[in-house]
Every structure is written in C-alpha cells, then in structure tokens.
Amino acid sequence: MTFSSLFIYSAVFLGLYTSLFFILTIVENRRRLYLPKLKKNFPSVAILVPCYNEEKSIAQTIKSLLALDYPRNKLKILVIDDGSQDKTLEIAKLFEKQGPVKVYHKENGGKYTALNYGLAHVQSEFVGTLDADSFVDSQSLKTMLPFFSSANVQAVTSSLKVYQPKTVFQYLQNIEYTFGIFLRKTLSFMGSIKVTPGPLTIFRRAVFEKIGHYRSAHQTEDLEIGFRLQSHNFQIDNAIDAHVYTVAPASFKPLYKQRVRWYQGLLRNGWDYRRLLNYKHGNLGLFILPITYLGIFSLFSISFLVLAQIASKAFSAFSSWQAIGFDISQFQFHLDWFFINSHLLMFLGFMSIIFTVIAVFLGQKLSKSVFSLDFGKGIILAALFYGPLYFSWWLGATTQVLLNRHPNWVKEKELI
Amino acid sequence: MTNENPKKKIRVGKYLLVLLLTGVIFALGFWLSHDIDRFKLSQVDNLRQDLQLDVLSAEVQFSLLSANVCQHIDSSSLTSELYAIGQRLGYMEGALGQNNPEVIRLKKQYSLLEIKQWQLTKKAQEQCGAQLIPILYFYSNQKDCPSCDQQGYVLTYLRDKYPFLRIYSFDYDLDLSALQTLKSLYGLKKELPIVIVGDQSYYGFRDREEIEKILPKVFETLKENQQNGENEETEEVSPQS
C-alpha cells in the first residue's frame, strides 16, 4: 500500500467515523430535539439589525421582525445603519413610527462596530442579532427562548434556510444549509457549536459583560464570538424548528467572495483560538476542531490527488489522439459490469455519500420543513458540483491567508 | 474555566462504539471488494478455459480435415474471445497489481494461447490463403517503455478499423519459456515497443500511418508466396497428369 493510498484510507476512515458519530448523536438525543414553545413569562428581547447598503431587503427584514409573535412591550428592534450610501436609512426610518422599531445611524466602521453600537443601547434581558438580508419566522422567538431555561446556555442559534432559491447556486446552497441545520443540532448535543450565525442568534445580554463585545475578528465576528463563548466554557444551544431565511448569493462570484471571507475567518480565528484544541474543551477540543482542520487538510490532499489523476487521464487521452488522430469510435462506450470498479474506496465513498444524504434529509425533516421539487434539484446539483466548488472556496481562502491578504467586505456587498 | 458545560463532556464509550461500527463498515468493504475481485478473476479463468477448448478444437479440425480445412476454419470468434480476455486481464492487472501471482499465472496462460492462435492464423494464411495479417506486439509495463501506451492505442485502433488484422501482444518481461523461444525466433533485442508485421520486426514507436503503409506490402508478399506455393503444387502435380 502506497503512502497516498494509506492517507486516503485514513481520511475516508475519519470521514466515516465522523458521519457515524453525528448520526448516532442525533439518534440517541431524538427525544430531546425540541422544547415546548414559550407561553408565559416573556422576557424582554432586543433584536439588533446592523445594515450597510441593504435597501433591497431591509424593509422585508423589519417587516418579518414586526410580524414576530411576541408581546410588543417586551420587544425592541434596533436598526443600526453603518453609514450606508444607498436608501437603507430612509427606508428603515419609515418603520420607526411602528411600535418597537428604533433606527440609528453611524459612520461606516464595519459590521462589528454596528453590533457594538446596538449593544450599547439595549437594556433587555436577551439580545438577538439579525442580518439585514434575512427574514425571521413569526414563531422563532417563542421557539428559541425556552432553551435559556438551562442556566449555562448563553446563546441559542436557529435553523438557517435559503430564502426562495431561484438560481442554480441558490438551490445548491439550500442543500448545504440543510446539511448545516443537521450539523448545528448535532453539535449542540456535543456542546460544540462554534458559530453563532448573524441571521438570528439570541444571547443573554449579560454574557457580553462577561466576555466583552464584538471584535473585528477577520470580518467573521459571528464565528469569533462563538469561539470566545466556547473558550469560556459557555453553552451554545440550537432551536432546530426556529426558521430564519437568508438571501443567498445568486451567482458564482459573490458566493465565492462570501465563502473565501468565511473560510479565511475560520482559519485565522482558529489560529487565534488554537488553545481550544485541548481535551479540556471536551468534544470540541478533542474531536470537532481537530476533525474540522484535518478535514480541510484532507480536502486539499485528496483534491490534488484527484486533479493529478484527471491530468494523467487527459494526458493519455491526448497521446491516444496524437497517435491515431481524431476518430469518433474512441467515444463509443460499452458498459460492461466487469469494468466497474469494485475497489474498497468505491464502496466506502458510496457509504459516505449515503451518510451525507441521510444527514441532509434529517436536516430537512427535523427542522419540520417540506420536501419539494426544488429540494430534489438541489440534491442533484450538490452531488455534481459541490465538491469542486467547496475546493475552490477553500483554495481561495487558504491563498488569502498565506499571502496575508484580507477580504474586502464592502466590495463583496456590492456584488450581491 | 469556572463554567460547566455538561454537553462538552467526552464519553469514551461512545467514541469506542463508533470506532467499532466504522471498523465493521471497513471490514465489510474489504470483504466485499476482495470477493468481487476473486469473482472477476474466476471469470477471466473461465474465459481462458473456453478459449483453450476452442483452440484445441480448431487444431483438431486442422488435423481431421486436412483437405477441406479452409472451409471450416473461422478464426474471428476465437479472436474476439482472445481480445475479451486480454482486455479483462489488463483491467485486473490495473486493479490487483502487476505482481499479483494470480494475474501473472493468467497472463502466462493467455500468452500461450496467443502463441497458439498466432500459429493457427499463420496456418490459415499459408494453407488456405486466408486474408489475415498477424501482428506481434511486444510491450513492457515497466517504466522503460514510455511510448508503449501510445503504440497500444494505435494497434487497438487499427484492429478495430481493419478486421483482417490479428494482433497478439506480449509482455516482453514475462518469464515464460515459449515466449523466450518466440523472441529468439525473431532474434529480438529489448528496444521497445516492437511490432512484427509479416516477417519484419519494427523497433520503436510506429504511428498509425506508418503501419497502414506496411500493410499492403505484406498483402503483396502474402499473395506472391501463395502464388509460388500454387505453382510449385502445379509443377508437382503436372507430371502425373
């Protein structure tokens, strides 16, 4: 067995191990997936909506918050305009007369500054964050708040979905997000959630006094605050049936920019919080973080091996073409089961695909969502294109980190 | 860390249970792929046995019907069986490795069958005037023959294009005495690839056009030989008449 095949087998082994671990975790916690909705003793909640050039979606975001099924006297909505150059501020101001909405304007300083600005203006027991391109389900607060009944829970995340997918890239992200729903719930049972997404996470306001406010954090403040909560051994939970819809990038370029920003953030914050890689941080330090970093390493190694194989196949096709010239008979294909690869890797690869599909279906089912034709389309697209796309995002992110470049979030916004 | 997060707690039992389950899936995969490979090898062996029977039967036909042999010999089905074995053997060589003892054993038997078939083709050509051209091709799987792959493509292409071609390919390095004899018969040196068309050996890569140019010449020599043979026969027969 050569070194490369030994490496591939180890990577596949770890992949299978992780999938089985996750599925087993969900199975053993199947009776603890949901909590009853909050019916009385409503605590005060403030939702912060940082925004920069969001004129297209801000109105709908605020409307979705106004439609929340929650006592009006307990809810505050703070829209913080981070120096937008479009009509975001004007549009947001239109809602100020409607009950709990308060709009603030400040000079542009980045999303984390807008969040901190908002934090400085709230006194409520709980504080939530919602990106200005996302829309909440009316029941989400009542579904999320019961998770705070456990004293150590400092943050509760929601189930993030793609808002009305229309393009190929959105269908694909829809599947990825659904997988994310499964993943986040699984990680919550292992005390290992490491991101508190911008589209609706609720925190105990007091926690910011203990751990400090938001930081620039390589433009992924929602990841850094997750890491920071974990480093203080605070618990982050997940309400899988609290739905939030976000406008996902519709084409390759904005999606690529977004992902490069996210993943360089993971690499850089991962390095800043490398002290979490310690068995003292339990499942997170012993298993989840190591497997995340090993996964990235395997992604690169296996992708390069696959690319080398494709290159060698292309070379032999080229030399065949050179030797005999173009001939249509070269493209005739006879299917003979004998030549189907029965290699162990094929079997294991097949098993991994099955586990991934199970995870995606569980994500959809457990979040109480319906299976639609769009979902089917997404599955096919993801099966075909997700691998190369994911590799391209990571390649971009790693290159940025190695070249010490930083993503330009303002430009990314312009693309969307 | 003063805070308690019970969910983070490592449960060794669960980690071990998942390790066991993953191990079981791996073992299942090993067992399954091993079994399928064995089945495939046995399929190649079945094909080889069938072909061995066919070759033997053709030989018996030759000796039984010495006069009418030419009407009864049809080598095309034998050839396609031979190609099928060759193709499958090549695949198994890739899957199980060139040094797999089972693969080497099958390869030796396959080479022997090729030599036998080559003899039959030559017989059919000489005695029955069959319009067939046998080509012997020597390659190597070692790294010493970079253009062997290309030569293989050319010959496969020509074989598909010209049904009268019979191509017999041999691994130059295969340790088989009959193959050594064949090599010494043509006085071959190890300058691969080697293509033998008619009685002429060509060293080094030959592209499609080069080989296509050789073919008519071979046909001409073939015809000449046959005519000479017929003349000799007439000369022998004429005094009696």
CB B125 within 8 A of CB B132: yes
Vertex A213: Cα angle to A210 and A215 (nearest 5): 135
Q: Which residues of A touch B95 (CB under 8 A)?
A: 341-343
Q: Give the pLDDT confidence of B173-231 residue by residue, as tens digits.
A: 999 999 999 999 999 998 889 999 888 899 998 888 888 888 877 777 766 766 666 56
Least Cα separation, residue A214 to chain B (angstroms): 21
Residues of A in contact with B26 (CB under 8 A): 13, 16, 348
Question: Do B208 and A324 lie within an 8 Å CB cutoff?
Answer: yes
Residues in chain B with CB shorter than 8 Å from the CB of A26 are none
pLDDT at A260: 93
What angle, rounded to 10 degrees, do the helices at A3-28 and A344-366 form? Answer: 30
What is the Cα–Cα distance from A243 to A368, expressed in whole angstroms? 9
**What is residue B73's predicted lDDT score, i.e. its pLDDT?**
59
Q: Which amino acid is at A96?
A: E
Q: Which residue of A has its CA nearest to B208?
A: A324
* pLDDT score of B3 more than 90: no
- Mean pLDDT, residues A380-400: 92
**pLDDT at position B65 over 90:** no
The least confident of A158-172, A230-244, B22-36 is: B22-36
Q: Given an 8 Å threshold on Cβ–Cβ distance, is A16 in contact with B25?
A: yes
CB-based contact (8 Å) between B99 and chain A? no
Please judge whether B2 and A329 are an interchain contact, meaning their C-beta atoms are less than 8 angstroms apart: no
Q: Which of A51-55, A84-88, B145-149 has the lowest mean pLDDT?
A: B145-149
Inter-chain contact A188–B7, Cβ cutoff 8 Å? yes
Question: What 3 state SS string does A117-177 have?
Answer: HHHCCCCCCEEEECCCCEEECCCHHHHHHHHHHCCCEEEEEEEEEECCCCCHHHHHHHHHH
Q: Does the pLDDT at position B233 exceed 80?
A: no
pLDDT tens-digit map of A304-322? 888 888 888 788 777 777 6
For B182-207, the three-class secondary structure string (H helix, E strand, C coil) is: HHHHCCCCCCCCEEEECCEEEECCCC
Tell me what pLDDT residue A60 has.
Answer: 95
pLDDT at residue A81, as a whole number: 95
Q: Mean pLDDT highest for which of A376-380, A408-412, B54-58, B220-224?
A: A376-380
- Lowest model confidence (mean pLDDT) among A20-34, A137-151, A264-278, B158-172: B158-172
pLDDT at B237: 42
Interface test mutation site (partner B, options A8, A21, A227, max chain B beta carbons within 10 A) = A21
Q: pLDDT band at A374, cuts 50/70/90?
A: confident
Kindly tell me if the per-residue pLDDT of B107 is higher than 50: yes
Measured CA angle at A174 (ends A131, A190), to 5 deg = 75
| DSSP bridge partners of A243 | A159
Side-chain-side CA neighbours of B220 within 13 Å: the count stands at 5
Q: What is the mean pLDDT of residues B103-127?
A: 83
* Nearest-angstrom CA–CA distance, A382 and A376: 10
- What pLDDT does residue A410 have? 58
Q: How many CB pairs under 8 A join A and B?
A: 112
Question: Looking at residues A242-250, what average pLDDT do you find?
Answer: 94
Neighbours of A223 (CB within 10 A): 23
Nearest CA in chain A to B14: A21
* Averaged pLDDT for residues A259-282: 93
Put simply, the answer to whether A324 touches B4 (Cβ < 8 Å) is no
Band (pLDDT 50/70/90 cuts) for residue A45 is very high
Residues with Cβ within 8 Å of A175's Cβ and at least 6 positions away in sequence, in order, are: A360, A375, A378, A379, A381, A382, A386
Confidence (pLDDT) at B112: 87
Length of chain A: 416
The burial of A319, by beta-carbon neighbours within 10 Å (0-12 exposed, 13-18 middle, 19 or more buried), is given as: middle
pLDDT of res. B45: 79
**Average per-residue pLDDT for chain B:** 79
The residue of B2, B3, B4, B7 whose CB has the most chain A CBs within 10 angstroms, and thus the best one to mutate to test that interface, is B7
Task: Give CA–CA dist A293/A276, Å, rounded.
Answer: 13
**pLDDT grade for A261, boundaries at 50, 70 and 90:** very high
B91 lies within 8 A of chain A by CB: yes
Q: Phi first, then psi: give them for residue A153, nearest 5 degrees.
A: -75, 120
Is residue B82 very low, low, confident or very high in pLDDT (cuts 50, 70, 90)? confident
| Contact (CB<8Å) B208/A316 | no
CB A119 within 8 A of CB A127: yes
Distance separating alpha carbons of residues A130 and A120, to the nearest angstrom: 16
Rg over alpha carbons for chain B, rounded to the nearest Å, is 26
* Spatial CA neighbour of B132 closest among B222, B228, B214: B222
pLDDT of residue A312: 80
When comparing pLDDT for A226 and B224, which is higher? Answer: A226
Distance CA A240, CA A144 (A): 9
What is the pLDDT, as a whole number, of residue B78? 67
Q: What sign does the dihedral A391-A393-A396-A399 (CA atoms) show? A: negative
Give the model's pLDDT for residue A137.
95
At residue B35, the pLDDT reads 86
User: How far is it, in rounded angstroms, from Cα A23 to Cα A67?
Assistant: 35
- Per-residue model confidence (pLDDT) at position B240: 39
ipTM of the prediction = 0.84
User: Is pLDDT above 90 for A12?
Assistant: no
What was the pLDDT predicted at B236?
44
CA pair distance B71, A30, nearest whole angstrom: 77
Q: Of all residues in chain A, what percent carry a pLDDT higher than 90?
A: 68
Q: Which residues contact A180 (CB under 8 A, 6 or more apart)?
A: A160, A363
Best interface-test mutation with B: which of A8, A9, A10, A16 has the largest number of B CBs within 10 A?
A: A16
Q: Give the separation between CA A174 and CA A81, rounded to whole angstroms.
A: 28
Structure tokens given for B74:
């049809």
Q: Is the pLDDT of residue A230 over 80?
A: yes
Instruction: Give residue-wise pLDDT tens across range A132-167.
Output: 999 999 999 999 999 999 988 999 999 999 999 999
| pLDDT (0 to 100) of residue A409 | 61
**Which amino acid does the sequence have at A130?**
L
CB contact under 8 A, B3 and A284: no
Lowest mean pLDDT among A24-28, A57-61, B28-32, B127-131: B127-131
Question: What pLDDT score was predicted for residue B198?
Answer: 81
A257 pLDDT higher than 60 = yes
Of the candidate ranges A347-361, B73-87, B90-104, B190-204, the one whose mean pLDDT is the lowest: B73-87
Per-residue pLDDT band at A349 (split at 50, 70, 90): confident
Instruction: Indicate the CATH number for domain B131-232.
Output: 3.40.30.10
Instruction: List the single residue in B with minimal CA-CA distance to A1.
Output: B97
Spatial CA neighbour of A387 closest among A348, A340, A349: A349
Q: What is the distance between the alpha carbons of residues A90 and A348, in angstroms, rounded to a whole number? A: 56
Asked whether the predicted pLDDT for residue A91 surpasses 80, the reply is: yes
Minimal C-alpha gap between B92 and chain A (Å) = 9
Bridge pairing between strands B200-203 and B165-171: unpaired
What contacts A42, CB < 8 A, 6 or more positions away?
A70, A71, A74, A145
Residue ranges of domains in chain B: 45-129, 131-232
Q: How far apart are CA B106 and CA B112, in angstroms?
A: 10
| Kind of pairing between the strands at A235-246 and A134-136 | antiparallel
Q: Residues A183-221: pLDDT tens digits?
A: 999 999 999 999 999 999 999 999 999 999 999 888 899
Distance CA A287, CA A278 (A): 9
Average model confidence (pLDDT) for chain A? 89
Does residue A397 or residue B5 have the better pLDDT?
Answer: A397
State yes or no: cis peptide before B193, omega within 30 of 0.
yes
Which tops the pLDDT comparison, B236 or A55?
A55
> How close does chain A come to B233, measured CA to CA in Å?
42
Give the DSSP H/E element, type plus range, for residue B170.
strand B165-171
How many other C-beta atoms lie within 10 A of the C-beta of residue B79?
A: 19
In chain B, the residue whose alpha carbon lies closest to the alpha carbon of A186 is: B7
**B 129-188 → A contacts, CB under 8 A:** 149-151, 153-154, 157, 160
